[in-house]
Amino acid sequence: MQFASPLGQVAGGVSPNANLTLRTVLQRAAKRIDGKFPNEPEVAMRLRYTIGSALVFVGDNTGALPQFEKVVASSQELLGRDDDFTLRAEYRLAGIHRQLRHFDIALRMNEEIVERRKTIFGQEHAQTSRAINGLVLAYQAAGRTAEALQLAKQNLELRKRHLGPTHAETLVSMNNVAWLYQEQKQPEKALPIFEETLAGMRKKLAPLHPERINTTANLARAYRAAEQIDKAVPLLEVLTPQFRTAYGLDDPRTQSIIDNLITCYVDIGWRDKAEALLISMQSGGVNRPTNVGPKQDQREKSYRELIQRVRPAADQYQRELAAKDAEHPDTLAARQAFALVLRGQNHTSAAAYHLKAVLDARQRLLGADDLDSHVSRLELGTTRLAQRKYAEAVSLLLESLAGLKQHESDNPKAKSRVAQVLQRLVQVHDRSDQKDKADEWRQKLDKQKKQ
C-alpha cells in the first residue's frame, strides 16, 4: 500500500502523516480509484474488490459497502450475473449488509445467491455450500436461529461428506453449528463441538487465522456461559494480543476480548490482575484505544467501580487461598462470601461457578447433611432463581429446606435459614406464574415467622 508510509503519501499527492491508520489508508485509496482507470473498468473493479475486502477485515463495513456495490454493478455488466467473480462479489456484499444489520437485504441476497449457485453448480458443489453458509449467518443475524441451526447442520453434513471432517470449511460449519447451539442456550451441545472445532483448526490454520481466533473467542464465551471461568481465562489471555495484532487495538472485536478478560479476572477473584489490565486501558497503557471518547471513559469508570465493590471479598478469598488449603473451611467460607458479592453485582454465572465448587467440597468433606452443605444449597438455589433457572432452583431449595429443618432444634442459625428458604420458594413460584403454590409457601413462611 503506497499510502502506508509518509514517503508514499507524499508520492501519492497527500499530506504525510506518520500515524496514519490502515483504515484511513484504505479509505483514501478507495477515493482515488474514481476516474483513475477510465479505459480499464475491469482493473478498477478488481482493485475496488481488494480494497473493499481489506476494509471489511479492519472492521470498516460502512466504508466497504459503496465499494462492493460498485464492484457488483460493474461485474454484472462486464462479466455477467453467473460469472464466478460476480457471485463472489455478491456474496461479500450480502455479508456486509448483514454486518450492518440490513437483515432484509442480506436475507434476500443470500437466498437468491443460494438458488443461483444450485442452478449453476448443483446442490452439493463447494460453491453452493459456501453460499448456504452465508444464508446460515444471515438467518442467525436476523434472529431466526431455529432455521439457521437446521440449515447449518445440513451444510455441515454436506461438507463432511464431500470435503472430509477436518477440512477448513467443514471446521467453519462446525463452529457455526456450535455457536447456534450456544445461542439457543444449549451449552452442553455447543461446548464439545467448539472444542473439537478448535482442536481441528489448531492443526489446519495459522494462529492468527481469523476463523481460528474467532472460534477460540467463541469457545471462551461458551466456557463463561457454562460457568467454567477457569477454562475461559487462559484462552482470553492468549486471544488479547492475537486480536490486537490481527484487527488492531481500536477494533470493537479487540476491545470486546479485553472486556471479557477483565470481567473473567474479576469473576474468578483475581482482582489484582483485573486492576492491572484496567490500568493498561488507561492513559499511556498498551491496551488504550486511540479513538477515546465518552463511551471509553464510561467503560473504564464502570470497571473501576466494579473492582472497588468486589475488592474486600475477593482479597479475603485470595488471602485464605494463599495461606490455607483450597478446601479449608475458612477458604470455603471466604469463597462463598465472595460469590454472594458477585451475585449482588448481577454476575450470577460467576457466583454459581464458585457456589457449585463450595457445595461440592462441603458435601465431600462434611457430608451431604451437614448444616453448611445445606446453606450452600440455599445460596446456589437463590442464584438459580436470579438466573431464572426455576426448576433447578426449586430442587436445590427443597433439598436445603429438608436438611435445615433437621438442624432447627440444635442450631439457632438454622431457623433463620429456613425462613430464607421459604421466602425463596415463594419468589420462585411467583416468578414462574405458579400463584397457588406461591400462596402455599407464603402460608408456611408466615407460620415459620410466628414460631
Instruction: Report DSSP letters for 70-99, one per residue.
Output: HHHHHHHHHT-TTSHHHHHHHHHHHHHHHH
CA distance 217 to 214: 5
For 410, phi then psi, to 5°, come to -110, 0
Locate 68 and state its grid cell.
Answer: 462492493
- Using alpha carbons, select from 412, 334, 341, 340 the residue that is nearest to residue 371: 412
User: Cα-flanking dihedrals φ and ψ of residue 125, to 5°?
Assistant: -75, 150
Choose between 91 and 12: higher pLDDT: 91
pTM: 0.82
pLDDT of residue 15: 43
Task: Taking residues 132-155, report their average pLDDT.
Answer: 93
DSSP 180-241: HHHHTT-HHHHHHHHHHHHHHHHHHS-TT-HHHHHHHHHHHHHHHHTT-HHHHHHHHHHHHH
Strongest mean pLDDT among 34-38, 93-97, 161-165, 447-451: 93-97
Q: 320, 330 in Cβ contact below 8 A?
A: yes
Q: pLDDT grade, residue 21 (50/70/90)?
A: low
pLDDT of 281 reads 86
Residue of higher predicted confidence among 231 and 53: 231
What residue type is 285 in one-letter code? G
- The lowest-confidence range among 34-38, 104-108, 304-308, 395-399 is 34-38
| pLDDT of amino acid 20 | 44
